[in-house]
């Protein structure tokens, strides 16, 4: 029996018997062979915490990149693909390892009116599959740019940011938590129980992610985990701490995004444990202090938690197969940012400058902010439905419009808002911060959109100036004449 057949057989057995079941941390257990005890089915993430003290054997790292190798791989990728990428660090781990990010775009590092997506891998140190797949994804995009229409769409229309490892220290220790043995996916501010709201007490990796989202506006994101096979969406917790479905305001949109990943996957949507291969986090089991809910509440970012392999730390020989199973899911999820939803910008009618403001959808209790400089917005919604979209900016009259979202086709709506006028007739200016950079950008935009009008005005003004100059010169000449000097008037 050759190696390829063995790998395929292993995946078949694992997915038939225990898809999304018990997350073992040891390759010596029966679970690693795909024969988990059926009584563990559905327990998923609960049992991880109970088995944190059960460390994996040191040889399971064989075939996976070390942290130093990961850093070299990131830098080598940038050298090879610098025409569509840049690399940067958002901070350091407890032990000082840089948290490297790869940005992929046709204009990396530049702000454009385009949506941004981020992938985060290795949130838990003992779940390293994500860091391997994210490097494979980056290289796949580089190799297929200008060859594959889907890749072209992503590079040209999205700013994709990839953080292969959020927890490099945990990977080194072969354990779930970071160097301080803290679970990073329980270290974010929580909407229900504010036990971890002291920012100074949080881990450096957590602080780095939070600062990253304050500096950069992401439309959507996904973190990659292991130990099950399912796409998880908010809410990840509930107020009563019970295992019940707890829907967020954009529950339908999240189900749509999770289904994109699941249906594009080789077998995730065939799950017998999770209908359609997706699950509401609280319905699976409540998580408090999680990164997913924090992204949606505080970052304006629609984040999924993707469980991409039944085994938390599979043999490295299985990585090519896991990559093939997840490749199209990852690509289609990123591409969904420009294939659906409503997108646009907000401008002032009197000056043409971009207006930072808010976008709301009637019937959905969730607000999306425009960017501060370009005033662009990207609102993900379920396709095939009608929506009322409203733009609001302080000091300006709000405007709303009705749209119909076609399937596999996004809608673009720009709003041009009129300034509000006070009772005494003066204009009420926006209190939004529109500094020098914004004004310069708005001048460029307004000039570009009204170029022909300005050109005609310039020609007319130049001609009038020419006539006036000739008239003045003519009168000056007459003034110098003795016969006309006393009658000169200008």
Tell me, rounded to whole angstroms, the distance of Cα 177 from its chain centroid.
24
- Beta bridge mates, 101: 88
Catalytic residue among 71, 132, 205, 307: 307
Tokens 């740019």 locate to 145
Residue 452 is among the residues annotated as catalytic for this protein: no
The alpha-helical segments, DSSP class H, found in 81-148 are 129-144
Retrieve residue 243's tokens.
């295992």
* Omega before residue 238 within 30° of 0, cis: no
Burial environment of residue 121 by CB neighbours within 10 A (0 to 12, 13 to 18, 19 or more) = buried
Tokens 């808002």 locate to 417
DSSP state of 405: P
Yes or no: say if 262 and 278 are a contact pair by the CB < 8 Å rule: yes
Alpha-carbon distance of 9 to 4, in angstroms, equals 9
Give the start-end residues of each E strand in 329-375.
Answer: 342-348, 358-361, 364-369
Yes or no: say if 201 and 289 are a contact pair by the CB < 8 Å rule: no
Retrieve residue 152's tokens.
């072209």
Residue 151: CA count within 13 A, CB half-sphere: 15
- Beta bridge mates, 228: 309
Alpha-carbon distance of 437 to 206, in angstroms, equals 30
Catalytic positions, written as ranges: 307
């Amino acid at each position: 029996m050759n190696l390829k057949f063995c790998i395929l057989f292993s995946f078949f057995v694992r997915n038939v018997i225990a898809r999304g079941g018990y997350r073992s941390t040891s390759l010596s257990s029966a679970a690693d062979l795909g024969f988990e005890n059926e009584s563990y089915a559905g327990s998923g993430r609960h049992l991880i915490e109970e088995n944190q003290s059960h460390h994996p054997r040191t040889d399971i790292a064989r075939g996976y990149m070390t942290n130093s190798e990961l850093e070299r791989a990131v830098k080598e990728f940038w050298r090879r693909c610098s025409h569509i990428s840049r690399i940067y660090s958002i901070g350091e781990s407890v032990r000082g390892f840089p948290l490297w990010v790869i940005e992929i775009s046709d204009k990396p590092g530049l702000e454009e009116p385009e949506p941004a997506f981020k992938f985060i891998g290795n949130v838990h140190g003992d779940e390293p599959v994500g860091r391997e797949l994210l490097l494979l994804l980056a290289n796949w995009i580089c190799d297929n740019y200008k060859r594959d229409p889907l890749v072209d769409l992503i590079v040209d229309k999205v700013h994709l940011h990839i953080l292969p490892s959020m927890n490099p220290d945990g990977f080194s220790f072969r354990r779930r938590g970071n160097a301080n043995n803290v679970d990073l996916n329980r270290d974010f501010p929580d909407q229900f129980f504010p036990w971890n709201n002291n920012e100074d007490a949080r881990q450096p990796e957590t602080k780095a992610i939070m600062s990253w989202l304050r500096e950069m506006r992401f439309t959507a994101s996904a973190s990659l985990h292991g130990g099950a096979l399912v796409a998880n969406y908010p809410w990840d917790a509930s107020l009563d701490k019970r295992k019940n479905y707890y829907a967020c305001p954009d529950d339908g949109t999240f189900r749509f995004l999770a289904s994109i990943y699941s249906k594009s996957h080789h077998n995730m949507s065939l799950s017998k444990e999770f209908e359609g291969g997706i699950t509401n986090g609280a319905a699976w089991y409540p998580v408090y202090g999680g990164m997913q809910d924090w992204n949606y509440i505080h970052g304006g970012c629609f984040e999924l938690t993707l469980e991409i392999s039944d085994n938390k730390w599979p043999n490295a020989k299985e990585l090519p197969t896991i990559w093939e199973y997840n490749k199209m899911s990852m690509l289609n999820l990123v591409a969904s940012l420009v294939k659906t939803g409503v997108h646009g910008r907000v401008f002032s009618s009197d000056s043409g400058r971009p207006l930072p403001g808010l976008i709301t959808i009637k019937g959905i209790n969730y607000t999306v902010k425009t960017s501060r400089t370009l005033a662009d917005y990207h609102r993900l919604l379920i396709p095939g439905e009608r929506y009322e979209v409203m733009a609001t900016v302080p000091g300006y009259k709000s405007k709303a419009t009705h749209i119909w979202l076609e399937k596999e086709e996004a809608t673009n709506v720009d709003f041009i808002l009129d300034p509000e006028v006070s009772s005494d007739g003066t204009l009420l200016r926006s209190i939004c911060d529109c500094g020098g950079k914004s004004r310069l950008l708005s001048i460029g935009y307004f000039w570009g959109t009204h170029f022909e009008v300005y050109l005609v005005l310039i020609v007319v003004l130049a001609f009038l100036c020419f006539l006036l100059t000739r008239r003045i010169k003519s009168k000056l000449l007459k003034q110098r004449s003795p016969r006309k000097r006393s009658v000169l008037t200008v």
